Amino acid sequence: MPIFGLLAFILRSTDYESPKPQKRKVSIIVRELTKVYGQQKAVDQISFAVNPGEIVGFLGPNGAGKSTTMKIATGYLLPTSGTVEVAGYDVVAHSREVRKRIGYLPEHNPLYLDLYVKEFLRFIGGLYGLSGQTLSRRVDEVVAQVGLEPEYRKKIGQLSKGYRQRVGLAQALIHDPEVLILDEPTTGLDPNQLVEIRSVIKSIGAQKTVLFSTHIMQEVEAICSRAIILSKGTVVADQSLEDLRSTGQPLEAVFRSLTKG
């Protein structure tokens, strides 16, 4: 997703009707969601829910429909049919309310490489309506939260991949959303960065609901309470890690048997 896609996600402000006050709610509810691109059905009638405080791993082979689902859940793409609610608000009808409550790290983590880290975070915070001392405080808080202190004086283009991912996480957190959607946040990281980013995600998950996609099974075992596995646009498993482990098979074997063919 290019940077303007991320900016469009933040700026999109269509609310088709006045949102009603919501009761305490499930963080994400996907109901019979379908997305068709031309002739291609990328997501086929999927349903699942994520509860407050869960860290859920979203798994599936390449092309299974993970990114498409995440883009719809963040309001970046429209569904062909079905609905998604985030924090009690429909993502199409009440996108402004959803945008306040959701943080999104897209798959290719679009960033302005010429901006300094804090400059970029101030810019993104400004798009969310933060200003003055609140903005400065939030920038300092997210820089600390994702472990960016050693590198925050650099331009983003000068950062390693792992630190760029931290900037991506920081921009997703800047407005203190209750739900985070992270699309392959650890892809391409070296083993040390990988462990560090995982621990950042785990600590974020202590306060927020997190849905994140990955191809790394150890990652799911290390940080998730539950896994949802997609294959060819459908949900083939939605189980707690405890239940998946109780099969007695390694998670990789379970994944292969559910998604092959």
Ligand X SMILES: Nc1ncnc2c1ncn2[C@@H]1O[C@H](COP(=O)(O)OP(=O)(O)OP(=O)(O)O)[C@@H](O)[C@H]1O
List residues binding ligand X (CB under 6 A). 37, 40, 42, 60, 62-68
For the chain, the 3-state helix, strand and coil shares in percent, each to the nearest 5, are 40, 25, 35
Nearer to ligand X, 9 or 120 (CB): 9
List strands edge to edge, sheet with 81-86. 40-50, 28-37, 81-86, 89-90
In the bound state with ligand X, the residue whose beta carbon lies nearer, of 97 and 184, is 184
Residue 48 and residue 228 in contact, taking contact as beta carbons nearer than 8 Å: yes
Termini Cα distance of the chain: 29
* Closest CB 109 distance from ligand X, rounded Å: 13
User: Per DSSP, which regions of the chain are E strands?
Assistant: 28-37, 40-50, 55-59, 81-86, 89-90, 102-105, 179-183, 209-213, 226-231, 234-240
Structure tokens at 124: 């993104």
57 CB-side CA count, 13 A:
27
* DSSP conformation class of 208: S
Q: Which is nearer to ligand X, 248 or 261 (CB)?
A: 261
Residues 6 or more apart in contact with residue 75 via CB below 8 angstroms: 9, 12, 91, 92, 95, 98, 99, 102
Nearer to ligand X among residue 81 and residue 134 (C-beta): 81
Cα 258 from Cα 7, distance rounded (Å): 36
List, edge to edge, every strand of the sheet that includes 209-213.
102-105, 179-183, 209-213, 55-59, 226-231, 234-240
Smallest gap from Cβ 203 to ligand X, in A, equals 25
Q: Which is nearer to ligand X, 71 or 226 (CB)?
A: 71
Q: Do 218 and 211 touch, CB atoms closer than 8 A?
A: no
CB of 230 to ligand X, least distance (A): 6
Least CB distance to ligand X at residue 260 (A):
15
